[in-house]
């Protein structure tokens, strides 16, 4: 505490007060002035110190802006901020800080990517003292790729078409007015040519007609190429005119989609917690049941889960499972090679930002009534802090699931039944990137599991066509005719997670337990008599030594994939560990290895990659994903084939879906989900829930909802 007070008293605001007091106040008043200043310092300390992994606060973001704008090498140029995020301290320092008995202060630094003078500038800014922030490092990115788009430049680029005569002529030929259309920016991908300019495609939709679903009414055949920094149109193409799909039947808004559904509907329900919420949020730390973890926010990744530890009740110990986890990228390639579509190969996190695209959650719709909410902060193009309210919710889920049960029947005695209900804690964010909505859940279970679920909804990307019935189609239209003049285009979703696992410590290994069928030879190792069994299976235990052995296509031969701590063993000698359990959505990319989108996302050929921890390797698609070439991504890093046995290792897991659209996806998609689970495997000495109390009597709040007459 003494160290903290000295730190606070050394800050410029305190020293300034003291200097004024010494020059202006008489001795008695001077004493009071010093007392007031010390009291102010102690009051400042009464607010909690930032956790080393806390996201940057609004004050820190403002300080970052001040330092960058004052930096001499860029002060003479217009500058736009594309990414500002926490430059997290070195991992050993964070672990030492959180394990320390006394509070300490770790430096607070920001990493910044900004554009000025046609270059991508990288800054590291120290904001430990927000009154005097300083740039501690500056560099210029000289490789391929560009940072995320800003919202401001997307809006400005989308407006360029309005003053462009050829575009106006295209609208006139189609019988459309300028006010009938709206345009948006589409990343152009990379197709073998590195661009010195930040170029993007602009495509348009018919927004007239009274529907909110403008994605269902594309202005097919028209594409603009724009320079998003100079805000000029570089090229224009009006290849062909297609029928614009009608607005009728496309709206998804309540009251606009038709009369309310009068069929059988579920009875209303509500979550009742007589004793209140079972979790506690302290700043960014969440504590619930036998879990404790940190919830952060990043403008590119969205939700970041850190320092997730589970309490071992038998050992009375907190044991770390996950150091840091987040969605690293969402790769969405469309399967139409035609002129207006071939470049639709999006990197949603690296090009648009998941945190920037996070939307306010709707109480009792996106999240149940028992949820608590958290805000997030990022910066706009001018570097000013932007507050996103209620973009993360935390709630306990009562789904009627069973944690464990057994009914024992033994002879004449009455059956013995023991059941324990399953309650989980969910951390949720919803990200809307253009037409798609991703619900991203982190679910913590009392059994010690962490389950991640990604749920997709929203609106398809649709292509206008002159076809009105499938009988008219003779060629591959690269999608499904889902309505008249409307094709839902085939596409993929690959959601890749970065998971820095710390299974009971930092030194872990990756094990592939292959399940091998065997023929029964009839020879008994135990000396017993031969049996008529002809086959069985057993397990081949393989420890991955290097990165090449840590790459797995889980659709291959059956295997258990384990992450263990070789230095920690149970009482009977098993290595403590966690098991990776895929839960559907295990598709891998079918694109050719030499196709340009696949080169950018070459990691999507396998769902599992394991690498040694490297602080700089956060983004699976590379730091500069927009127009990236694939030279700085997970597959490129792994070519070094580094050692991963008994090391601090990172799991990269990709949830993959091939999406063949159907009519039920129109006008808005019902949710589909993919998931995976990290589940204890010899981590505990026994079932950690064996001592869980049986459920008590809960208030009966069920009601009868009937119809009269």
416-433 and 535-543 as β-strands: parallel, antiparallel, unpaired? unpaired
Q: Do the Cβ atoms of 477 and 462 come closer than 8 Å? A: no
Distance CA 15, CA 131 (A): 12
Q: CA–CA separation, 155 vs 6, rounded Å? A: 48
* Cis amide linkage into residue 667, ω under 30° from 0: yes
**Spacing of C-alpha 199 from chain mean position:** 26
Half-sphere exposure of 113 (CA within 13 A, CB side): 18
Rounding to the nearest 10 degrees, give the CA dihedral for residues 685, 691, 692, 694: 140
Contacts of 275 (CB under 8 A, 6+ apart): none
CA 679, CA 448: separation in Å to the nearest integer? 7
Alpha helices in 252-302 (DSSP H): none
- Classified as helix, coil or strand, 201 is strand
| Distance (Å, whole) CA 504 – CA 565 | 7
Going through 409-508 in order, the beta strands assigned E by DSSP cover 416-433, 436-445, 450-458, 462-464, 479-483, 486-489, 491-501
Q: Are 306 and 300 in contact (CB under 8 A)?
A: no
Task: Provide φ and ψ at 492, rounded to 5°.
Answer: -120, 160
DSSP characters over 608-668: EEEEE--TT---TT-S--BT--SSSSHHHHHTT--B-TTB-EEEEEEEEEEE---GGGSSS
Say how many Å lie between the first and final Cα of the chain, rounded: 72
How far is C-alpha 378 from the geometric centre of its chain's CA atoms?
15
Write out the catalytic residue numbers: 348, 436
DSSP 173: H
Q: What gap in Å lies between CA 124 and CA 83, rounded to an integer?
A: 12
Q: Decide: 83 and 610 in contact? Cβ < 8 Å.
A: no
Query: How far, in Å, CA of 249 to CA of 216, rounded?
Result: 10
Whole-angstrom distance, CA of residue 480 vs CA of residue 462: 10
Going by the DSSP 8-state scheme, the letter that residue 132 receives in this structure is: S
Q: Is-contact 486 666, C-beta < 8 A?
A: yes
């Amino acid at each position: 505490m003494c160290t903290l007070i000295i730190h606070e008293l050394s800050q410029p605001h305190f020293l300034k007060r003291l200097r004024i007091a010494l020059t202006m106040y008489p001795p008695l008043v001077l004493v009071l002035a010093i007392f007031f200043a010390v009291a102010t310092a102690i009051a400042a300390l009464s607010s909690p110190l930032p956790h080393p992994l806390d996201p940057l606060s609004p004050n820190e973001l403002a300080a970052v802006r001040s330092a960058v704008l004052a930096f001499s090498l860029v002060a003479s140029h217009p500058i736009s901020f594309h990414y500002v995020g926490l430059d997290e301290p070195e991992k050993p320092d964070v672990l030492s800080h959180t394990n320390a008995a006394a509070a300490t202060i770790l430096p607070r630094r920001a990493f910044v990517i900004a554009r000025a003078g046609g270059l991508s500038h990288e800054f590291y800014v120290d904001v430990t003292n927000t009154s005097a922030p300083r740039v501690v490092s500056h560099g210029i990115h000289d490789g391929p790729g560009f940072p995320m788009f800003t919202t401001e430049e997307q809006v400005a680029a989308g407006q360029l078409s309005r003053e462009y005569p050829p575009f106006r002529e295209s609208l006139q030929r189609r019988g459309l007015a300028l006010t009938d259309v709206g345009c948006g920016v589409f990343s152009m991908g990379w197709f073998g040519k590195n661009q010195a300019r930040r170029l993007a495609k602009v495509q348009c939709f018919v927004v007239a007609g009274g529907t909110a679903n403008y994605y269902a009414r594309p202005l097919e055949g028209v594409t603009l190429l724009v320079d998003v920094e100079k805000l000029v149109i570089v090229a224009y193409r009006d290849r062909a005119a297609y029928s614009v799909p009608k607005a009728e039947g496309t709206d998804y808004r309540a009251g606009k989609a038709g009369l309310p559904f009068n069929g059988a509907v579920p009875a209303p329900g509500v979550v009742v917690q007589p004793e209140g919420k079972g979790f506690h949020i302290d700043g960014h730390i969440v504590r619930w049941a036998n879990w404790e973890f940190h919830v952060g926010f990043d403008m590119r990744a969205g939700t970041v889960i850190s320092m997730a530890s589970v309490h071992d009740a038998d050992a009375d110990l907190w044991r770390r499972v996950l150091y840091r986890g987040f969605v690293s990228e969402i790769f969405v390639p469309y399967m139409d090679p035609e002129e207006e579509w071939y470049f639709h190969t999006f990197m949603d996190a690296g090009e648009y930002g998941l945190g920037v695209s996070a939307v306010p959650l709707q109480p009792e719709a996106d999240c149940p009534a028992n949820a608590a909410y958290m805000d997030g902060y990022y910066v706009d193009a001018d570097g000013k802090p932007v507050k996103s309210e209620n973009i993360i919710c935390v709630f306990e889920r009562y789904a009627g699931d069973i944690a464990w049960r057994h009914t024992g029947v033994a002879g004449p005695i009455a059956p013995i039944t023991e059941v324990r209900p399953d309650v989980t804690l969910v951390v949720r964010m919803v990200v809307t990137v253009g037409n798609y909505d991703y619900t991203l859940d982190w679910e913590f279970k009392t059994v010690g599991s962490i389950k991640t679920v990604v749920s997709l909804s929203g609106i398809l990307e649709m292509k206008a066509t002159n076809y009105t019935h499938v009988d008219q189609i003779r060629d591959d239209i690269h999608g499904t005719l889902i309505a008249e003049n409307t094709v839902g285009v085939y596409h993929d979703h690959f959601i890749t997670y970065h998971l820095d696992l710390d299974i009971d410590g930092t030194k872990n290994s990756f094990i592939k337990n292959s399940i091998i069928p065997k023929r029964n030879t009839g020879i008994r190792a135990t000396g017993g008599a031969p049996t008529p069994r002809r086959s069985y299976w057993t397990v081949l235990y393989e420890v991955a030594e290097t990165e090449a052995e840590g790459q797995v296509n889980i659709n291959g031969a059956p295997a258990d994939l384990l992450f263990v701590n070789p230095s920690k063993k149970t009482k009977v000698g098993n290595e403590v560990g966690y098991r990776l359990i895929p839960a559907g959505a295990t598709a891998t990319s079918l694109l050719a290895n030499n196709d340009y989108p696949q080169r950018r996302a070459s990691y999507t050929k396998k769902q599992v990659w394991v690498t040694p921890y490297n602080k700089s390797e956060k983004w699976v698609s590379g730091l500069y994903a927009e127009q990236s070439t694939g030279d700085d991504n997970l597959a490129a890093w792994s070519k070094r084939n580094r050692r991963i046995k008994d090391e601090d290792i990172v799991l990269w897991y990709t949830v993959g879906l091939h999406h063949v659209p159907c009519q039920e996806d129109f006008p808005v998609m019902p949710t589909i989900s993919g998931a995976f689970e990290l589940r204890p495997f010899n981590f505990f000495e026994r079932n950690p829930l064996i001592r869980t109390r049986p459920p008590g009597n809960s208030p009966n709040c069920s009601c009868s909802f009937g119809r009269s007459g």
